[in-house]
């Protein structure tokens, strides 16, 4: 995928209805870049749900919660206030008022986040937050793109559009190496192994695993540029918004 990031122009037309879009898939498939670019281009809000799990993990590591003990994680799951900004051009995340956007990308957080996000009390709490942010957007007449692992399958099963992104393990490792702080020295093979380990943990956990919803549109991004993936998803969102607008007109 190319490094260019498509920007929204100030006069980008908003879609004709407040669509809710779920974009799921494992890391390194282009989920974040695609979700942000689509949201910016169509004047939709954007929610990075991985950042919420990462912020909670960072707060736990910073507050001496033993993240190797699920019962300690469960006890602490409701403690910090996790606040997500929804501007796709300036995504923000804080834990108990502290800016978490830098620290959540460290290797330490990346290594611990799968264990934290597997705890049912964590999932219940973060899922509630995600649903309320999506509901607020819809209530205010603005659509939203929500990216994660279980958004289409569990968090927002009634989303207007569900997209599931995939890519080959080699392409995913190459993209990830360039993204995470401190990952350069680890080398490509180590990154690929770390991704495979996290995939296994995220896909096999009992509570709401990484899963493609039956009605999701699957896009293999291995051979596509970011711009091509964005174009494809923008078209799908426009179609979903038109369907939703049509349904609204029919019941009026
Ligand atoms: O997308 P990411 O790499 O920032 O996600 C970090 C972790 O959070 C990932 O390993 C699994 C977890 N996660 C999840 O369990 N459910 C989501 N909807 C999003 C992320």
Domains of the chain (ranges; CATH) run 2-243 (3.40.50.300)
Name every residue whose Cβ is closer than 8 Å to that of residue 136 and which is 6 or more positions away in sequence: none
Q: pLDDT tier at 97 (50, 70, 90 boundaries)?
A: very high
Locate the ligand 1 atom nearest the alpha carbon of residue 27 and give its number. Answer: 3
Give the strands of the sheet with 93-95, arranged side by side: 82-84, 93-95, 98-99
**pLDDT tens for each residue of 74-88:** 999 999 999 999 999
Asked if residue 232 lies in contact with residue 37, where contact means CB atoms within 8 angstroms, the answer is no
**pLDDT tens for each residue of 20-51:** 999 999 988 999 999 999 999 999 999 999 99
Ligand 1 centroid – CA 123 distance (Å): 11
Ligand 1 centroid – CA 38 distance (Å): 20
Conformation bin of residue 3: beta by default, left when phi > 0, alpha when psi is -120 to 50: alpha
- Give helix 107-117 / helix 187-204 axis angle, nearest 10°: 20
Ligand 1 centroid – CA 72 distance (Å): 20
Ligand 1 centroid – CA 53 distance (Å): 6
- Range from 1-10, 35-44, 123-132, 238-247 carrying the lowest mean pLDDT: 1-10
Ligand 1 pocket: which residues have CB below 6 Å? 27, 49-50, 53-54, 113-114, 117, 148-151, 198, 202
Asked if residue 29 lies in contact with residue 168, where contact means CB atoms within 8 angstroms, the answer is no
């Amino acid at each position: 995928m190319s490094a260019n990031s498509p920007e929204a122009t100030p006069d980008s037309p908003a879609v004709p209805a407040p669509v809710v879009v779920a974009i799921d898939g494992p890391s390194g498939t282009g989920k974040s870049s695609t979700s942000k670019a689509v949201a910016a281009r169509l004047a939709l809000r954007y929610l990075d749900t991985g950042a919420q799990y990462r912020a909670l993990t960072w707060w736990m590591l910073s507050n001496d919660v033993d993240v190797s003990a699920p019962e300690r994680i469960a006890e602490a799951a409701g403690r910090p206030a996790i606040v997500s900004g929804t501007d796709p051009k300036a995504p923000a995340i804080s834990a108990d008022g502290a800016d978490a956007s830098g620290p959540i990308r460290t290797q330490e957080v990346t290594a611990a986040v799968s264990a934290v996000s597997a705890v049912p009390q964590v999932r219940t709490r973060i899922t509630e937050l995600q649903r309320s942010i999506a509901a607020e957007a819809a209530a205010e007449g603005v659509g939203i793109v929500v990216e994660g692992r279980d958004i289409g399958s569990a968090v927002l099963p009634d989303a207007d559009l569900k997209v599931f992104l995939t890519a080959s393990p080699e392409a995913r490792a190459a993209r990830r190496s360039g993204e995470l702080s401190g990952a350069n020295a680890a080398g490509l093979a180590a990154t690929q192994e770390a991704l495979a380990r996290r995939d296994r943990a995220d896909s096999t956990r009992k509570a709401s695993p990484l899963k493609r919803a039956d009605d999701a549109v699957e896009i293999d991004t291995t051979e596509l540029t970011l711009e091509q993936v964005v174009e494809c998803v923008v078209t799908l969102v426009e179609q979903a918004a038109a369907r939703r607008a049509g349904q609204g007109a029919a019941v009026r």
